[in-house]
Structure 1
Amino acid sequence: MPQQKGIIKLKGTMGGITFYKTADGYLAREKGGIEKSRMESDPAFQRTRENGFEFGRAGKGSKLLRMALRTLMRDAKDRRVTSRLLKILVSIVKTDTTNARGQRTVQDGELALLKGFDFNIKGKLNTTLFVPYSTNIDRAAGSMQVQLPALTPSIGIEAPEGTTHFKLIIGLTELDFENETFIFDGNETGILPWNAEEIPATDLSASVTANSTLPLFQVMGISFYQEVNGQMYPLKNGAFNALNVIGIDTP
């Protein structure tokens, strides 16, 4: 893809060339494509239409999950999280064996493929937290529990340079992909010192709808802080904070 050079950066279309900005910088491409009316009716593009429908459902599913976890993602995400999440959801749609091609959905696919997804590629949970933890979902009660043993932060948590404190967070969300609605609940520890003093076992819980018939997603993360003159500041604006899908429960 051609890149724009020079001091002046262009956006828009001029002379059949479209100029636009991406995470990789300012790019340019030749304007083209097939007329919309032909794309919508020509039998030759039946597969293209089917792929488009399914891509659209994956896009809506990605947006719904990001909306549900917005309060947690605000401090733990990277600039490519949207495209990375969408790629997985497209693959999930393709695993749907219930519906015909073009009608496959996120909710009927293998949602377990999302387990282990890191919202911040620079802050992966499995290279940050080095203590065993257990999780449990009680669908009848609509509750989730995450239990961590007593730990020494400087040994059990790999923190970026400059860290003085940290916080553990969890979230539970119930997603209705068909109606594009969600319920979310979260919990967190206080801000704890990152040092060589052991902290007691931690038990965090969150709740959604009891006896839900919708998929439930569990996430856990770590946020890092630096204390300066008695004030806590997010370390490097959360650049290394972790948030990970640790569990998925389907009805």
Structure 2
Amino acid sequence: MRIVISQGSDKYLTARVTQKMSEVIKKDGVNARGKRGVLDDETGLFEGFDFNQNAIFGSVVYLKPEVSVNRQTGEVLAKMPAHNSRIVIAAPRGATHYRFFGCASNINFELSEFTTLDDESDFIEVGNAAVPETVLDVSLSDGQNQNLNLTSPIFVTVGVSFFQDVNGEKYPLKNGSYNAVKIAKVDTGV
């Protein structure tokens, strides 16, 4: 999830992920203490996790992402509903544009293997214009829609980043401190 972490996280992210992972591991009721691990069905505790405590997704974007996961084909879509950016995006002062971004990660904790794909929208101007539905295609497929039958947990992350337009060039605002990122869905596969 490097792409989303680099676009919107705070300096305490590692500590907060460690704390959440500790909660997940403590839910392992199968293995003895000291040998507990990550059980796929408990990874759902990460759903709603915000990567940037300085910019909570729900207080920056007043939309609920619609996420669909097809484990057979690997198709993963995150849709941001049509909206008016002036009403549903709490853009920081100086921002002229924003863009949505996201990723899907299929993580096998037992084998320490993962696959991650990311996508981002075009730049969207902050203003009163109607913005059509934005679809982020973060599909984990090989493009041939073969029967992948993914069994490990799939984490779908969605975020927003802000920019300022200066003479046609888009510059990120303040090293991403205003960017909001959250885990919109965890499909545990169980």
Whether the TM-score (by the shorter chain) exceeds 0.5 is: yes
Stretches of structure 1 that go unaligned for 5 or more consecutive residues are: 1-68
Query: Cα offset for 1:144?
Result: 1.1
Equivalence map 1:37-186=2 (5 Å): 69-108=1-40, 110-186=42-118
Is contact 1:95-1:109 (8 Å) kept? Answer: no
**TM-score with structure 2 length normalisation?**
0.91
**TM-score with structure 1 length normalisation?**
0.70
The C-alpha deviation readout for 1:89-115, integer Å capped at 9, x for no partner, is 011100011212211102356111111
State how far apart, in whole Å, the 2-side matches of 1:201 and 1:109 are: 31
**Higher mean Cα deviation, 220-229 or 98-107?**
98-107
Structure 1 214/207 Cα, relative in aligned 2: closer, same or farther at 3 Å? same
Partner of 2:144: none
Q: Percent identity?
A: 33
The C-alpha deviation readout for 1:21-43, integer Å capped at 9, x for no partner, is xxxxxxxxxxxxxxxxxxxxxxx
- The structure with higher relative contact order (CA 8 Å, sep 6+) is 2
Structure 1 109/97 Cα, relative in aligned 2: closer, same or farther at 3 Å? farther
Stretches of structure 2 that go unaligned for 5 or more consecutive residues are: 142-147
SS in 2 for 1:74: helix
Is contact 2:162-2:176 (8 Å) kept? Answer: yes
Is contact 1:98-1:108 (8 Å) kept? Answer: no
State how far apart, in whole Å, the 2-side matches of 1:108 and 1:115 are: 13
Partner of 1:13: none
Kindly report the root-mean-square deviation, in angstroms, between the aligned alpha carbons of the 2 structures. 1.4
